[in-house]
Amino acid sequence: MTRVRILNLFSTILFRDLLLGVRNQSELVNPLIFFIMVITMFPLSIGPEQSALMQISPAIVWVAAVLASNLTIDGIFRSDYEDGSLEQMILSPHSGFTLVMAKILAHWLLAGVPLIIMVLMAGPFLYLPDYALQTLFYTLLLGTPVLSLIGAIAGGLTMGVRSSGMLQALLILPLIMPLLIFSVSAVNNAMKGLPVTGELYFLAAILVLALTLAPIAVFSALKIRLSE
């Protein structure tokens, strides 16, 4: 397959999934509402103490991002699985890597990018200084694609399983613990005036590793589920 055909296939699947996601507004809005509720309820329950909120706000944001992302994992392959188009995609002679990456990128654009925008808007509410908010933005920019990549693995393994939310969470949480640790550590170091390049490099390495291995794992998981 030529590069032009691969690019056309990638763009077709990407824009198709983006269009379907925009049309199904409930799946797009519900995770954002959940995210907003979490990051606003914590300050209300803890109180207006600025120092306390600054200390825990990075962890609050990242935990809320993980939980909100988990709500959208099931939708990556569900509609295509139910109408039979996913089986046709997997059995087609086209590159499996291209098919999977297009759907994962669509998921990140629909679920990850809005979360990043919401964090930037909610930064003053969490009393995050500008340099810490900038570091939080970098961690989310590097980390939310990893959530989509790892979530796609869990979505592929649990595709077609009823009430798969808890199973997906159990599959995802052990894999994203390094992501949470380095992301929160980077923001905490930024608030203390310490360098954060080490943590950001680790996050970039995790992203590269996920980009390399996750699509292969997702494609294999989809073939296993469809063969059952």
CB contact at 8 A, 46 and 53: yes
Per-residue model confidence (pLDDT) at position 206: 94
Confidence of residue 94 (pLDDT cuts 50, 70, 90): low
CB contact at 8 A, 18 and 109: yes
Residue 163 phi, psi (nearest 5): 50, 55
Does residue 155 surpass a pLDDT of 90? no
Q: Which of 178, 221, 172, 166 is nearest to 203 (CA)?
A: 178
Per-residue model confidence (pLDDT) at position 160: 65
Query: Best-predicted range by mean pLDDT among 54-63, 202-211, 217-226?
Result: 202-211
Q: How far, CA to CA in Å, does 201 sit from each of 34, 35, 94, 143, 206?
A: 30, 27, 34, 12, 9
H helix runs in 47-127, sequence order: 50-72, 78-83, 85-91, 96-107, 113-122
What SS3 state is found at 201?
Answer: helix
Number of structural domains in the chain: 1
Q: What is the pLDDT of residues 127-149, one digit of tens each?
A: 788 888 899 999 999 999 999 99
Q: How far apart are CA 92 and CA 86, in angstroms?
A: 10
Mean pLDDT, rounded, for 66-93: 76
Q: How far apart are CA 14 and CA 19, in angstroms?
A: 9
CB contact at 8 A, 135 and 129: no
Does residue 107 surpass a pLDDT of 80? yes
Residue 166 phi, psi (nearest 5): -65, -40
Per-residue model confidence (pLDDT) at position 140: 93
Does residue 167 surpass a pLDDT of 80? no
Mean pLDDT, rounded, for 44-54: 72
Per-residue model confidence (pLDDT) at position 164: 64
Continuous segment of H or E residues that includes residue 179: helix 165-191
Per-residue model confidence (pLDDT) at position 171: 79
Q: How far apart are CA 92 and CA 175, in angstroms?
A: 30
Confidence of residue 163 (pLDDT cuts 50, 70, 90): low
Q: How far apart are CA 175 and CA 147, in angstroms?
A: 9
Residues 76-80: contacts with CB within 8 Å, 24+ apart?
76/103, 76/104, 76/107, 76/151, 76/152, 76/155, 77/103, 77/152, 77/155, 77/156, 77/159, 77/222, 78/159, 79/20
**Mean model confidence pLDDT for the chain:** 82
Token output for 97 = 């890597």
Question: Domain of 34?
Answer: 3-227
C-alpha atoms less than 13 angstroms from C-alpha of 145 in its C-beta half-sphere: 20
